[in-house]
Amino acid sequence: MSTPVNALASRIAEDFAAATAAGGRGLDTRRRALRELQAAGLPGTRDENWKYANLRGLERLRFVPAPAGATAIAEGALPAALPGFSRQVFVDGRYAPALSGAAPGGVFAPLAVTAAPPGSLTLGPDQRFALLNEAFATDGALVRVPARASARLELIFLATAEAASGSSYPRLSVEVADGAHLELIERHVSAASLGSFVNGSAQLHLARGAQVRHYRLQELSARSRAFDTLGAALDQDASYRLHAIGVGGAASRSTVAVRLQGERAAVTLAQVLLGARQQVQDCFALFDHAAPRTQSEQLFRGIAASRARVAFNGKVVVAPGAAGADSRQSLRGLLAGPEAEIDVRPQLEIYTDAVRCSHGATTGKLDEQMLFYLLSRGLSRDTAQRLLKWAFLEDAVSGIELPELRRQVELALAAALEDETLKELL
Partner 1 sequence: MSTAKEILLQVQDLQVSVEGRKILNGLNLTVAAGEVHAIMGPNGSGKSTLANVLAGHPGYEVTAGSVTFRGENLLELAPEARARAGVFLGFQYPVEIPGVNNVYLLKAAVNAARKARGLEEVDAFDFLGMVREKMKIMRMDDSFLSRGVNEGFSGGEKKRNEILQMLVLEPALAILDETDSGLDIDALKIVAAGVNTLRSPERACVLVTHYQRLLDHVVPDVVHVLVRGRIARSGDKALALELERRGYDWVAGEAA
x-or-dash string of contact with partner 1, 356-395, rule CB under 8 A: -----------xxxx-xxxxxxxxxx-xx--xx-xxxxxx
Rg (CA), the chain: 21
Phi, psi of 331, deg, nearest 5: -120, 120
CB of 417 to partner 1, least distance (A): 13
Using the minimum distance from each CB to partner 1, give the nearer residue, 68 or 390: 390
CB of 332 to partner 1, least distance (A): 12
CB of 216 to partner 1, least distance (A): 22
Q: Say whether 24 sits in a helix, a strand or coil.
A: coil
CB of 333 to partner 1, least distance (A): 16
CB of 122 to partner 1, least distance (A): 40
Using the minimum distance from each CB to partner 1, give the nearer residue, 181 or 386: 386
Using the minimum distance from each CB to partner 1, give the nearer residue, 217 or 393: 393
CB of 173 to partner 1, least distance (A): 37
Distance from C-alpha of 333 to C-alpha of 242, rounded to nearest angstrom: 19
Distance from C-alpha of 338 to C-alpha of 347, rounded to nearest angstrom: 27
Using the minimum distance from each CB to partner 1, give the nearer residue, 259 or 301: 301
- Please, which residues bridge with residue 242 across strands? 214, 269
Q: Any idea what DSSP says for residue 122? A: P
Using the minimum distance from each CB to partner 1, give the nearer residue, 367 or 418: 367
Using the minimum distance from each CB to partner 1, give the nearer residue, 272 or 393: 393
Distance from C-alpha of 6 to C-alpha of 21, rounded to nearest angstrom: 22
Integer CA distances (angstroms), 376 to 367, 380, 384, 390, in order? 14, 9, 10, 19
Binding to partner 1 (CB under 8 A): which residues in 196-255? none
Both ends of the chain: CA-CA distance in Å? 41
Using the minimum distance from each CB to partner 1, give the nearer residue, 96 or 393: 393
Distance from C-alpha of 159 to C-alpha of 228, rounded to nearest angstrom: 14
Tell me the number of residues near partner 1 by CB under 8 A.
24
- Count the Cβ atoms, other than its own, within 10 Å of residue 183: 21
CB of 251 to partner 1, least distance (A): 29
Asked if 425 interacts with partner 1 (CB under 8 A), we say no
What contacts 107, CB < 8 A, 6 or more positions away? 86, 143, 144, 145, 149, 151, 153
Q: Which residues bind partner 1 (CB under 8 A)?
A: 367-370, 372-381, 383-384, 387-388, 390-395
